[in-house]
Amino acid sequence: MTVTVTADCPDGATSARAYKDGRNFGTAYIVDGKVTKTFAEISEGDTHVYGLSVFYDDVESEIAEIEFTAIVETKILTVDEYVPGTSTWVTGTYQGTLVEKVGLYINGERIYSVPISQADPPNFEYYRKGLLATDVVKVYIADKDDKELDQADVPIKQEEKLEEAK
């Protein structure tokens, strides 16, 4: 992910510099009366302060500063197969910085959510034993206010039927 900072360039500026968290981050570019710098490789969820300054001969003057937090689209990436009689957890992976909780729907009924932090990100886990092959189960992820952000079907292993020998 990248972020671009742009500001009007004051008349008489001779060059420009970019900053990230107060540290020199290289040259910014003056083009058509604007100062611009694109910052690359922004980490998801990290907040940084990006700034631009211009020089009048040898005197530096700050002209722009923004605080930016990269937020990646929130979604469930994978949901592991649940095996009735064996599994005790609904597990999978997700992405997104706003995710705080994970919960279930079982046969259409919303089951309470729990903190997603009980598993190491980007994994989620929800303790639930006793699900049946006939249950319809969905897992959802939510923000801190329990607002649902995404949901996905939980694949449940179906019982294998034995063929009678004739």
CB-CB neighbours of 28 under 10 Å? 25
Burial class (CB in 10 A: 0-12, 13-18, 19+), 98: middle
pLDDT of residue 123: 92
- DSSP designation for 117: G
CA distance 54 to 23: 15
Which class is 75-153 in CATH?
A: mainly beta
pLDDT (tens digit per residue) in 141-164: 999 999 999 999 999 998 765 555
As a residue count, the chain comes to: 166
Low-confidence ranges of the chain (pLDDT < 50): none
69 CB-side CA count, 13 A: 8
Evaluate whether 3-69 and 75-153 have a shared fold. Answer: yes
Contacting residues for 133 by C-beta, under 8 A, at least 6 apart:
84, 156, 157, 158, 159
- Side by side, which strands form the sheet with 59-69? 3-8, 34-39, 23-31, 15-20, 47-56, 59-69
pLDDT (tens digit per residue) in 90-113: 999 998 878 899 999 999 999 989
> Positive or negative CA dihedral for 38, 40, 46, 52?
negative
Pick from 119, 41, 115: which is nearest to 78 by CA?
119
Are the C-beta atoms of 35 and 19 separated by less than 8 Å? no
pLDDT of residue 151: 96
Q: Where are the domains of the chain?
A: 3-69, 75-153
Please indicate, yes or no, whether the overall pTM of this predicted structure exceeds 0.85.
Answer: no
pLDDT of residue 103: 96
Which class is 3-69 in CATH?
A: mainly beta
